[in-house]
Amino acid sequence: MLVDTPICDFGWKAPDFTLKDPSGRSFTMSDHMGKNGLVIAFICNHCPYVQAIANRLASDAATLKAEGIETVAVMSNDYRYVAEDAPPMMARFAEQHGFPFPYVIDEDQSVGKAYGAVCTPDFFGLNNKGELQYRGRLDSAGMKDPSNRVAELINAMRLVAETGRGPDDQIPSMGCSIKWR
C-alpha cells in the first residue's frame, strides 16, 4: 500500500534509541549524531521504492558525512511476515548498495512507533540538537529521469547544518507501508 509521510513537526525532539545491526553490534542514535546533524532513514530491503533509491541514499549519505551529517538506517518491518527483510538479507542489501552507515533492526518496532514512521523510505532529518527539521523525500524528479534529480535531502540537511532549521517547503516521502505486527 502506497503511503505519504506527514508534514514535518519542526523542533520535535527525537527520542534516543539503541538497536543492533545484523551482526549484533549495538548502535546508539545519540552516539552517531554528527556535528551538523543526523539523518534517520526508515527503510527495508523488499520495498521497490527503497530499492529504487538505495544507491543514491548511499551516495548522498557519504556526501553528507563529509559535511558533518551522519546517517543511520532503521528497519522496522516485521521480518517474520516479510522474510526478505530478515537480518541476513539486511546485511546483504547494505553490502550490495555500499551503505556507509549502520543499518539496524527495530526488532520490537518501538523505534518506528516512537518516531511515527509510516512508510519505507521515511526520512527524518535532525539538527545537531536532535530536533526534527526535515521529513521529506531523498530526491525529486530523479525517480523517472535521474538527470533531473533534485537532491532534496542533501539540500535540506545543508540548510539545517547552516541555520539549524530545515526548509519550510518539503515534499513528503512516499513508499510502502511499514509492516507492523
- Residue 147: which pLDDT band, with cuts at 50, 70 and 90? low
* Coil vs helix vs strand at 57: helix
Quick one: pLDDT at residue 146?
A: 62
Give percent above pLDDT 70 in the chain: 94
pTM of the full predicted structure? 0.94
| 77: Cβ contacts below 8 Å, ≥ 6 apart | 44, 46, 85, 120, 178, 179
Tens-digit pLDDT profile for residues 3-52: 777 889 999 999 999 999 999 999 999 999 999 999 999 999 999 999 99
- Cα separation, 145 vs 139, in Å, equals 11
CATH superfamily, region 2-177: Glutaredoxin (3.40.30.10)
Residues 6+ apart with CB under 8 A from 31: none
